[in-house]
Amino acid sequence: MIEEFNLLRYIQKIHEVLEKERKLPEPLASYQGEEWVDSPDYNLMMHLCWIARVDERQEKLWEEVRPKFKSKYQEDIRNVKEDKDCRELGYPKKLVPYSWLPKLSEYLRKENKSFGEFLQDMKDKNGIETRDKLKSIMGIKGKEAKRISVFIRDFLKKDVFPIDINVRKMLKSLGLPEYEEMMILLCKNASVDPKKFERLLYYHGKEICGKGKKCALHGLCLSSVFKLNKC
């Protein structure tokens, strides 16, 4: 019990420090006002572009995919039926396996539902349940589900904890578990929003950690306490 209490206080302290360090931008703030921004189909297609490591590459890929999705596929995932459709949209096969969207499309057509109707049916499911259902339908394995969790976090506003290379680096440095479900549970027990905490870790890992910059977590992060890496 004492160990659990200390861990929760540790998470609370890290959250408090990072929250003071950085004001988080609103997800998709740069796209507010766009006619498609409330569309679940568009948003899933967009989040699949976020696999690219560099922000500019992500945005460039989405600017390529979006007009094709609108004109040729009528803004409907059900119309993305084959590998050639994914290739036509412009997704790099190594980043977005061409089986994912056709499998989702096939499922929706078989169920005679739009993607929006499918998500409405999932409204009472939590973030992890929603993620696992989409993973099962789309045939997504392991760490590749990070993009699905980001979609669930930013569009559906459900509790998830997407773990990419930046977040994983932070969890390792802090001595926290590298498991999405476990981090959600710990955050909730610590009265910390897991969606917000994950984003704070993401930006710190991307912009500060290991970059030789002044670190607000110095002396708190276990890696700095035990001198395990250069900050």
Q: What pLDDT digit, counting tens, does each position of 129-164 carry? A: 999 999 999 999 877 789 999 999 999 999 999 999
> Has this prediction a pTM greater than 0.85?
yes
The residue count of the chain comes to 231
The more confidently predicted of residues 211 and 135 is 135
Instruction: Answer for the pair 68, 90: CB distance below 8 angstroms, yes or no.
Output: yes
**Rounded mean pLDDT, 95-118:** 97
Which pLDDT band holds residue 2 (cuts at 50, 70, 90)?
Answer: very low
The type of residue at 41 is D
| Residue 30 per-residue DSSP state | G
Can you tell me the distance from the alpha carbon of 155 to that of 28, in angstroms, rounded to the nearest whole number?
A: 9
Of residues 230, 144, 158, 205, the one with CA closest to residue 18:
205
Structure tokens at 22: 């950085």
Please write the tens of the pLDDT for every residue from 26-84. Answer: 888 889 889 999 999 999 999 999 876 677 888 999 999 999 999 999 999 999 999 99
Q: How far is CA 150 from CA 49, 67, 158, in A?
A: 11, 22, 10
